[in-house]
Structure 1
Amino acid sequence: MKKMLLVIALAVVSFANAQKGTYFVSGNVSFWSSKDSNNSSESKTDRFGFSPRIGYQFKDNWTVGIESGFSSDKNVYTYQENAMNNQERISKNYSVGAFVRYSKSLSQMFLLYADLGAGYKNSKETNTNSFSNPVTFTNTFDGVYAAFAPGLFLNIKNNFGLNFGIGGLTYSNTKSDQNNGKNSNFYFNFGQSFNIGLSKNF
């Protein structure tokens, strides 16, 4: 897929300009599902995510805006011989913040950009076991995040097009509301992930 994008980018010689005084809205929707199994157990994971954005291009090549995000993960573990050990974990994540974008036109069809965002995030994790007396544990985390992500915009028609992302850098620092436990994470997945979104400039 990365080679395909590179070939397309080199083959087309026209790009959409990020012009001063214009607005844009964009959003990414993602769904991922996986299943792992063996003779004694099975693990299934479903993940859904949605991240809308609104930005104002206050200067040629520079944009500021508001971003938000929602994702939901469901993990189910089932055991063939002992159903009492079955477990389910559901995680829901919310975020809201601001971002700044620098973009560079390569032609009327393609635009390169890099986003730097930061804001507030909240996570809620619920774990349920299937023992004889099922018990549910819930843990909530609040904190901050910062992220850097480069991307490519493909102008299909009238500044409506597709955003292509290939990962980046993400840092988050959260604290549990139940036991004051802290969770600090740093992710580097540049070139290791791929996502597609829609964008419209006005």
Structure 2
Amino acid sequence: MKKILVVTAIAVFGMVSAQKNTLLVGGNIGYSNDSNKFMGNKVSSTEAFTFTPTVGYQFHKNWTVGINSVITSGKNEEGINNSASTVKNNEFAIGPFVRYAVPLGDIFAVYGDLGAGYQNQNMKTTTMGSTSEVKANGFYTNFTPALFINFKNGFGLNFNIGGIKYSHLKADGIDATNSNFTFSFGKEIGVGISKNFGLK
């Protein structure tokens, strides 16, 4: 199995020094691709694009609270040269988070984000020309530790290698649920840039 995970960041007005009474604004863009081949033929592939905007209020030098949302669009294909089935998946999640940060000097800091909230999913499956659609709603909770790097002129880079997440979804109109616990340390790469705006 060959797996490539590339996550690029978008700077939405980035800054990083931990200051009390500031407004945090940030966002990440992510892309992942997982492709499998057998005897030279592609038998499965999965790709996903993710956008994660964040807004928060830093009320203490160590503590920030705010709203985090995740927009994901993905596709999974199965069969020889992806001919058997295709699953297109769109997800949206939004909820509050709390962050605790510990500075390690003027340049580095470590922090952990604990969040929870609402999520929905729209999944379309096409098999041999026939398409079905399932919509689901539910909740999630997650914890993500990260490293913060302070750049010149207040710009900062956030870096993580995964986290812990629990997700629960219930399908609309049918008796089907999905509960998922994910431990992704070392399996993902996340990079982002953020900015703290001073408030009067």
Q: TM-score range by the shorter chain?
A: 0.7 to 0.9
* 1:77 CA drift (Å): 2.5
Q: Which residue is 1:125 aligned to?
A: 123
Structure having greater relative contact order (Cα 8 Å, sep ≥ 6): 2
- Say which of 97, 117, 126 aligns to 1:99: 97
Q: Contact between 1:17 and 1:104, CA under 8 Å: does it hold in 2?
A: no
Please name the residue that 1:187 is paired with.
182
Give the residue type in structure 1 aligned to 2:25: V
State the partner residue of 1:30.
Answer: 30
Specify the SS of the correspondent of 1:45. Answer: strand
Distance, in Å, in 2 between the alignment partners of 1:33 and 1:22 is 36
Segments ≥4 residues shifted beyond 6 Å: none
- TM-superposed deviation, 1:17: 4.3
Task: Write the distance in 2 (CA, Å) between the matches of 1:41 and 1:67.
Answer: 36
Superposed CA deviations along residues 88-109 of structure 1, whole A, max 9, x for unmatched, are: 1111111010000001111121
**TM-fit CA distance, 1:78:** 4.0
Q: Which runs of 5+ in 2 are unaligned?
A: 1-15
Cα separation, 2, equivalents of 1:187 and 1:76: 22
For residues 148 and 183 of structure 1, the distance between their equivalents in structure 2, rounded to whole angstroms, comes to 20
1:125-181 C-alpha deviation (Å, 9 max, x unpaired): 110012xxx210111110011011110111112321211012111111111103131
Percent identity of equivalent pairs? 42
TM-score, normalised on structure 2? Answer: 0.84
TM-score, normalisation: structure 1: 0.83
Structure with higher Rg: it is 1
SS at match of 1:69: strand
CA-CA distance at 1:58 after TM superposition: 1.0
The alignment of Structure 1 onto Structure 2 pairs a total of residues equal to 181
Task: Give the aligned partner of residue 87 of structure 2.
Answer: 89
Q: How does 1:1-202 map to 2 (within 5 A)?
A: 17-39=17-39, 42-79=43-80, 86-130=84-128, 134-202=129-197
